[in-house]
Amino acid sequence: MSEKVTALRDELILKLNEATDAASVDALRVEYLGKNGSITGLLKGMKDLSIEEKKDFGQKVNVLKEEAGKLIADKIEEIKKLEVEAEINSMPEFDISTPANLSRGSYHPITLVQRQCEKVFKSMGFNVEDYSEVVTDYECFEALNIPKHHPARDMQDTYYLENGQLLKSHTSAAQNAIYKKYKDALINEGKPIKAIFPGRCFRNEATDACHENTFFQMEGVMVDKNISISNLIFFMKTMLSEVFQKDIKVRLRPGFFPFVEPGFELDISCLICGGDGCPSCKHSGWLELCPCGMIHPEVLKAGGIDPEEYTGFAFGLGLTRLAMMKYGVKDIRDLNSGSLKALGQFTDDE
């Protein structure tokens, strides 16, 4: 009788080795361990054995039953593993974390105009500088000839931190640091200071089609001996014609900023309405784009530069508004909307 147990065990192992799918292994389970299965049948044939034989044989059959159950379960596990591996190997290689329908992405329109401006100014010998968004009251106001309680501060209410620092309300906040960085080369080596510094600005103000509380400007300064308004106008004209690649109507009018003297407002004819008036230009037909002027002597002094010897110009280009005009965005708020549908349609012209 025990040979029967051994023979059945060998037979099952052989058949399991040959099985290649879960269905045939399950069929083997029924064949050997089912109600009418071969191993179950061994127990049924025990009735003719003596008590002693029954005990010994019964134990062997039970051991085989248990072993057979385990062999079958292991085989099923092995087949499943192989099936998963085969499925993985048959798949094309791809990143399963990639979101569905991912487009190639595009640059934000403000990044595009910023790069265009940087390219133009770099080609004219300007350095591109980066500056922090959190600045001191001195940098943002005092060094720019705007003492505490000066009414000009009202125009640039911003967000103050508990430590007294603030989110810069204009890129002019970097002027003082730029003068200090380059003054030695100017004074000792005669190298003119020529720098642009784009950056994000913050103001506590109500938003509308042409005003945001968070927007970009690009400051530019040039300091040397004998710098005049003609130099300023030349650089402004070059920048606008390069960025727009077409003739656009501009107007220069007097403007007051404590850090320039004289100061100007440089407006461009609204490209959204062609100058007829619309919400994007507050129905005036003109958009304030780039105030500028000759750097105030007090500002040069604060930067360690002698205003008797050197003069310079500064401008504060509204990059966000430039992006609006260049790409025909009617409402400035769309630029901060994060809407891929709205923003994804712009591409670099180059």
Mask 170-189, x = binds ligand FA5 (CB under 6 A)?
x-x-----------------
Site membership for ligand FA5, residue 209 (CB under 6 A): no
Instruction: Answer yes or no: are the C-beta atoms of 303 and 310 closer than 8 Å.
Output: no
Instruction: Answer yes or no: are the C-beta atoms of 195 and 178 closer than 8 Å.
Output: yes
Shortest distance (Å) from residue 320 CB to ligand FA5: 5
Question: 10 Å Cβ neighbour count for 53?
Answer: 13
Residue linked to tokens 């770099």: 122
Q: How many CA atoms lie within 13 A of 11 on its CB side?
A: 13
- The single residue among 26, 67, 137, 205 that binds ligand FA5, judged by CB under 6 A, is 205
Cα torsion angle, 72, 74, 76, 78, sign: negative
The alpha-carbon radius of gyration of the chain (Å, integer) is 40
Q: Which range of residues in 70-78, 111-119, 129-137, 214-222 is near ligand FA5 by CB under 6 A?
A: 214-222
Angle of the 319-327 helix axis to the 109-123 helix axis, nearest 10: 110
Structure tokens at 301: 């002094």
Tell me the C-alpha to C-alpha distance, in Å, between residue 171 and each of 75, 127, 137, 174, 277: 71, 15, 13, 6, 29
Site membership for ligand FA5, residue 315 (CB under 6 A): yes
Angle of the 229-244 helix axis to the 319-327 helix axis, nearest 10: 40
- Closest residue by beta carbon to ligand FA5: 318
The per-residue DSSP string of 226-253 comes to: T--HHHHHHHHHHHHHHHHSS---EEEE
Q: Which range of residues in 64-72, 80-88, 103-111, 285-293 is near ligand FA5 by CB under 6 A?
A: 285-293
Site membership for ligand FA5, residue 289 (CB under 6 A): yes
Site membership for ligand FA5, residue 303 (CB under 6 A): no
- The single residue among 292, 299, 302, 343 that binds ligand FA5, judged by CB under 6 A, is 292
Separation between Cα atoms, residue 219 and residue 175, nearest integer Å: 8
Q: Which range of residues in 56-64, 100-108, 209-217, 227-235 is near ligand FA5 by CB under 6 A?
A: 209-217
- The single residue among 25, 68, 212, 270 that binds ligand FA5, judged by CB under 6 A, is 212
Angle of the 51-90 helix axis to the 22-33 helix axis, nearest 10: 170
Tell me the C-alpha to C-alpha distance, in Å, between residue 144 and each of 5, 127, 148, 163, 327: 100, 21, 11, 21, 33
Q: Which range of residues in 61-69, 244-252, 300-308, 315-323 is near ligand FA5 by CB under 6 A?
A: 315-323
- The single residue among 215, 235, 286, 346 that binds ligand FA5, judged by CB under 6 A, is 215
Shortest distance (Å) from residue 202 CB to ligand FA5: 9
Nearer CB in complex with ligand FA5: 12/316: 316
Binders of ligand FA5 among 220-259, rule CB under 6 A?
257
Binders of ligand FA5 among 318-337, rule CB under 6 A?
318, 320-321, 332
Site membership for ligand FA5, residue 261 (CB under 6 A): no
Residue 195 DSSP label: E
Shortest distance (Å) from residue 161 CB to ligand FA5: 20
Q: In the chain, what is the straight-line distance between the N-terminal and C-terminal CA atoms, in Å?
A: 90
Binders of ligand FA5 among 112-171, rule CB under 6 A?
170
Residues that bind ligand FA5 in the complex, under the rule CB under 6 A: 170, 172, 203, 205, 211-212, 215, 217, 219, 257, 260, 263, 288-289, 291-293, 314-316, 318, 320-321, 332
